């Protein structure tokens, strides 16, 4: 954790003043206050992140009853578990007695979850199974003390969770991606590899970096050599248009070229962003690999290479870049005011076998390198943003357009949250 100087007199009133100031200067980067304030950070967790749909795991990670993985966000730990009836739950990793954590191992298989402190025991559906000697307490009923839970939605084999018990079902908004994302049959896919990159920076700096490609040409030479997205749309319009015209025939997937964008303030329900587009690779590159040649069997329904890649957003902090032969998922979650987990997951066809059908080093080469480059630039961005001499500059109208949509949603949501009476 990186220690930064924070204001000792910070308050919700001060936060309101900064939000009012930001409304007067839209079109410029936000004030450093929003990266440094503990008050802001706690408000973000409650008002934005805990009310949004966030990718937690893939169904293949919990294939059998009792299988679980942990998902951690902020200071919270959530158990993603499949119960004896094969249902998937998201259970808070907090005992209902005195609050001890039930699980420390990041994955495993359990028939029950036993608190290591006082041995309260829970079933894999979260119900309290036993509480040692609590029958001595008058009126004690085990049914009153199940583990608290988050809502779960499974889309294309991707498990999403939402800590808001009143969250709207996201499957309606997500369904607009059925044709494009469905082409990869992620529900049948295999997690070939995943890695969490620890970035010593505020989570917004990490997300903002992903949402713009203004930096791509200079910071990511390997990515820029392969992907037309690094250039202005006018400069690559002819190549991208030709790719979109041939995409349905060459991939064998009708509608794979269709665009859809309902994100942030335009999302159909809060925290249920849904976006699909397809952009071109430069000539000579069929996929996101070092030599541009295939590194794994074709995904799902896809029959061939069109020289394009699918770009997706599912929720506010989860994204995918999908090539015909493999898919790469990104998710950004805060672990503290100045610590972020950037998780990257590589998917291949479910029948693919490492060593026979793909080489893991070749599969992960591009996005491992690119994420390490991002670690470098985001860390330096964080140091600069926390300087007393930083003055926010103007956004680029095209390259940083999506970033501005995030910022508008972020500020609007915080403004409404602090306008409400403090709980």
Side-chain half-sphere of 235: how many Cα atoms within 13 Å? 9
212-229 pLDDT tens trace? 999 999 999 999 999 999
CATH 3.40.50.1220, applies to 54-153: no
> HEC profile for 81-150?
EECCCCCEEEEECCCCCCCCCCCCCCEEECCEEECCCCCCEEECCCCEEECCCHHHCCCCCHHHCCCCEE
What DSSP line would sit under 228-264, residue for residue? GGGS-HHHHHHHHHHHHHHHHHHHT-TTTT--EEE-G
Residues in the chain: 423
75-89 pLDDT tens trace? 999 999 999 999 999
124/83 Cα distance (integer angstroms): 5
137: which residues sit within 8 A by CB, 6+ positions away? none
Given a contact cutoff of 8 angstroms between Cβ atoms, the answer to whether 212 and 403 are in contact is yes
Average pLDDT over residues 385-401: 95
**Which of the four pLDDT bands, split at 50, 70 and 90, describes residue 1?**
low
pLDDT of residue 91: 98
Mean of all residue pLDDT scores within the chain: 96
Specify the 3-state DSSP secondary structure of 334. Answer: strand
**Which of the four pLDDT bands, split at 50, 70 and 90, describes residue 422?**
low
**Which of the four pLDDT bands, split at 50, 70 and 90, describes residue 117?**
very high
Given a contact cutoff of 8 angstroms between Cβ atoms, the answer to whether 34 and 407 are in contact is no
Specify the 3-state DSSP secondary structure of 398. Answer: coil
Neighbours of 203 (CB within 10 A): 27
Given a contact cutoff of 8 angstroms between Cβ atoms, the answer to whether 28 and 378 are in contact is no
Average pLDDT over residues 169-178: 98
Neighbours of 110 (CB within 10 A): 18
DSSP state, 44?
Answer: H
% of the chain surpassing 70 pLDDT: 97
224/222 Cα distance (integer angstroms): 6
Take residue 302 and report the two structure tokens written for it.
Answer: 């896809």
7: which residues sit within 8 A by CB, 6+ positions away? 14, 36, 37
**Which of the four pLDDT bands, split at 50, 70 and 90, describes residue 180?**
very high
DSSP state, 194?
Answer: E
Domain extent listing, the chain: 1-52+171-423, 54-153
Specify the 3-state DSSP secondary structure of 223. Answer: helix
328/193 Cα distance (integer angstroms): 10
Strand partners, 223: none
Angle, helix 12-24 to helix 401-419, in steps of 10 degrees: 140
Specify the 3-state DSSP secondary structure of 405. Answer: helix
Whole-angstrom CA distances from 346 to 92, 156, 255, 367 are: 27, 15, 24, 9
Average pLDDT over residues 121-134: 97
pLDDT of residue 5: 55
Residue 423 has pLDDT above 80, yes or no: no
CATH class of domain segment(s) 1-52+171-423: alpha beta
What's the gap between Cα 207 and its chain centre? 9
117: which residues sit within 8 A by CB, 6+ positions away? 95, 97, 98, 100
Quote the pTM value. Answer: 0.96
Which of 2, 39, 407 lies closest to 198 in space, CA to CA?
A: 2
Neighbours of 67 (CB within 10 A): 18
Phi, psi angles (nearest 5°) of residue 290: -65, -40
**Which of the four pLDDT bands, split at 50, 70 and 90, describes residue 24?**
confident
Element (H, E) at 390: none
């Amino acid at each position: 954790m990186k220690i930064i100087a924070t204001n000792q007199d910070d308050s919700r009133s001060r936060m309101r003043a900064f939000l009012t100031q930001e409304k007067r200067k839209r079109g410029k980067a936000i004030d450093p206050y929003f990266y440094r304030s503990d008050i802001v950070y706690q408000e973000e967790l409650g008002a934005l992140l805990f009310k949004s749909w966030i990718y937690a795991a893939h169904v293949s990670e919990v294939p059998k009853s009792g299988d679980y993985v942990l998902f951690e966000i902020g200071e919270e730990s959530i158990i993603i578990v499949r119960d004896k009836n094969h249902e998937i739950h998201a259970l808070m990793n907090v005992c209902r007695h005195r609050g001890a954590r039930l699980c420390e191992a990041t994955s495993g298989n359990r028939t029950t979850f036993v608190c290591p402190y006082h041995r309260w025991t829970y079933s894999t559906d979260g119900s309290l199974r036993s509480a040692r000697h609590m029958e001595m307490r008058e009126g004690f009923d085990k049914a009153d003390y199940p583990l608290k839970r988050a809502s779960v939605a499974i889309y294309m084999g991707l498990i999403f969770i939402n800590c808001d018990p009143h969250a709207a079902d996201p499957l309606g908004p997500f369904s607009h991606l059925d044709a494009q994302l469905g082409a990869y049959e992620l529900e049948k896919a295999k997690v070939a590899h995943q890695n969490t990159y620890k970035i010593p920076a505020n989570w917004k700096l990490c997300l903002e970096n992903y949402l713009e490609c203004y930096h791509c040409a200079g910071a990511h030479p390997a990515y820029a050599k392969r992907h037309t997205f690094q250039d202005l749309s006018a400069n690559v319009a002819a190549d991208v248009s030709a790719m979109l015209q041939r995409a349905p025939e060459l991939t064998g997937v009708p509608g794979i070229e269709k665009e859809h964008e309902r994100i942030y303030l335009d999302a159909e329900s809060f925290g249920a962003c849904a976006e699909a587009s397809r952009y071109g690779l430069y000539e000579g590159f069929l996929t996101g690999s070092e030599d541009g040649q295939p590194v794994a069997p074709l995904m799902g329904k896809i029959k061939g290479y069109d020289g394009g890649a699918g770009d997706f957003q599912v929720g506010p902090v989860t994204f995918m870049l999908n090539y015909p032969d493999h898919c790469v998922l990104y998710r950004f979650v805060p672990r503290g005011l100045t610590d972020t987990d950037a998780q990257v997951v590589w998917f291949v066809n479910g029948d693919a076998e490492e060593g026979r059908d793909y080489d893991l080093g070749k599969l992960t080469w591009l996005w491992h390198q690119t994420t390490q480059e991002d670690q470098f630039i985001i860390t330096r961005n964080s140091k600069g943003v926390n300087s007393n001499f930083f003055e926010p500059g103007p956004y680029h109208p095209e390259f940083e357009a999506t970033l501005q949509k995030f910022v508008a949603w972020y500020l609007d949501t915080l403004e409404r949250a602090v306008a409400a009476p403090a709980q």
